[in-house]
Copies of this chain bind each other. A is one copy, B any other.
Amino acid sequence: MRYTLEQCCALVEEQLAQVDFAGKQPANLYDPVVYALGGGGKRIRPALTLMACDLFGGDMQAALTSAVAVEIFHNFTLVHDDVMDNADVRRGRPAVHKRWSESVAILSGDAMQVLAYQYLCRTAQTEILPDVLRIFSETTLKVCEGQQYDMDFERRQDVSIEEYLYMIRLKTAELLAGSLKIGALCGGAPAPDIDRLYAFGIALGLSFQIRDDLLDVYADPAVFGKRLGGDILSGKKTFLLLTALKRADEATRKTLLHIAADKTMADEDKTATVKAIYDALKVDKAAEQMVETYCKEAIEHLDMLPLQDETRKDELKKLATVLLKRNK
């Protein structure tokens, strides 16, 4: 590995700083783009693209435009998701639709989707552009599908854990895996290696999302960028809730299913009640175990990737650790 995780993130930040929409008109279209991209995300997805490229000794500068495209797309989904989920806060700041308006959030998100494609098309590696575009579009469509399942599940009371895993695979894991795939393509990786990295990304993504579900209830409030218990209040069918529903007796099941819709109960009481049920049913332990299982699976895929220099994998393993430990 010639580039460390930190160096990859720095490259992305540097490139993003040059994404210069500040002062572009109309301000209500471009200022929210600058705001959304400047929110201080962990840049995990573009870092995955760069690290995958570096794994095969690829040209990092050439991969950088695709990495930025992935990051712009990811932030676009956050802007629109916050509208759909009616989430007020993102990374400790007002969400775009709260800072401006819903219409501004919808439209600047639309523009970000175009900007992501523009960055993809900036690649100097025109010979792989059709493949990169194909993977990118397939991936982003899956992210849309996942978000729709997530919203559909909010109204359903019979969501199985298998359905949940399929949903988070689409909504979260496919973008991590797609980011790696695009990076590997930029690095000139052989097809079987690309598939292996993809499998690593999927397992990593599943692990990451279940950890995210855990953090919504069990994170340290001082470090967590948003309000704790958001998933509970919005009635999201998280791994915690679905596991609790599976383990609970009939009365507790009823409480869990109706708490999000209960208008008489204060928000703090709701989160406290649900957390007490989770604690009693030890669903946090079940979730931690799942995080562990998928994380192991991810590392196994990485181990099976045939590279001459095994140490090249170290930084990707480090990223997996960082990803799964953050905010704990």
Contact = CB atoms under 8 A, between A and B. Distances in A.
A180 interface: no
A157 interface: no
A252 interface: no
B84 A144 contact: no
A130 to B, nearest CB: 6
Given A84-B106, A106-B84, A107-B80, A133 B117 contact: yes
A155 to B, nearest CB: 10
B80 A106 contact: yes
Contacts of A113: 110, 113-114
Interface in A279-302: none
Interface in A11-62: 25-26, 28-29
User: How many copies make up the complex?
Assistant: 2
A140 interface: yes
Contact of A114 (B80, B121, B144): B144
Interface residues of A, number: 37
A198 to B, nearest CB: 19
Nearest to A118: B137
B115 A145 contact: no
> A-side binding surface: helix, strand, loop or mixed?
helix
A117 B137 contact: yes
Which of A26, A102, A140, A152 is packed against the most chain B CB atoms within 10 Å?
Answer: A26
A111 B144 contact: yes
B84 A103 contact: yes
A113 B28 CA distance: 21
A2 interface: no
B26 A148 contact: yes
Interface string A101-126: 01110111111011101100100001
B141 A111 contact: yes
Given A106-B106, A110-B113, A137-B114, A29 B144 contact: yes
Given A113-B110, A114-B141, A130-B129, A28 B121 contact: no
B140 A26 contact: no
Contacts of A114: 113, 137, 140-141, 144
Interface of A: 25-26, 28-29, 80, 83-84, 102-104, 106-111, 113-115, 117-118, 121, 126, 129-130, 133-134, 137, 140-141, 144-145, 147-149, 151-152
- List the 5 closest A-B pairs by CB distance, nearest first: A84-B103, A29-B148, A111-B144, A26-B148, A118-B137
Given A114-B144, A126-B130, 7 more contacts: A25-B145, A26-B148, A84-B107, A104-B148, A109-B110, A110-B110, A129-B129
